[in-house]
Amino acid sequence: MRFLGLDIGTVRIGAALSDDSGTIATPFAVISATQPQAQLAAEVRRICEENEVDMLVVGLPLSIGGQAGGRTARLSKKLGRALGEASGLPVAFADERFTTAQADRALIGANVDRKQRKSVVDKVAAAIMLQAFLDARSDGDA
């Protein structure tokens, strides 16, 4: 089973793909979040079709206490559901707290310069979120 992980932001959406077995997440692409929703949905649908994706995993920005009640969380849920409907795929939501910070630290640790980090941090964050979801799923938690 192949998964597409989406880390939704207001400017960019990081995308990560799992392998066919749903075991390993890999950074895939950065998608513009500022385009009209119909174009965004078409782009996600194309990615899903070309990569034989079976399920979308959308990052949900939870509060420190683990609640999903904030404005950003509501927007992520709304967009995630719309993308699921447009692609015809089921959607799961996954905790994405601190993934961008983790991705940034990992890229700094790998000596990636600031300009390059900015172009890849969102897809690396999506891969971190998707990997945590896959790991929890394999442990029976998702």
Please state the rounded mean pLDDT for residues 5-31: 93
Q: Which of 137, 134, 127, 5 is nearest to 59 (CA)?
A: 5
In whole angstroms, give the CA distance from residue 52 to residue 131: 18
Whether 138 has a pLDDT exceeding 80, the answer reads no
What angle, rounded to 10 degrees, do the helices at 114-138 and 99-109 form?
Answer: 120
- Average pLDDT in the chain: 86
As a whole number, mean pLDDT of residues 121-142 equals 84
Domain ranges of the chain: 3-138
Distance CA 90, CA 15 (A): 16
The amino acid at residue 42 is A
pLDDT score, position 92: 94
pLDDT at 27: 95
Tell me which CATH homologous superfamily contains domain 3-138: YqgF/RNase H-like domain (3.30.420.140)
34-49 average pLDDT score? 94
pLDDT digits (tens, 9 = 90+) for 63-76: 566 666 677 778 88
Predicted TM-score (pTM) of the model is 0.86
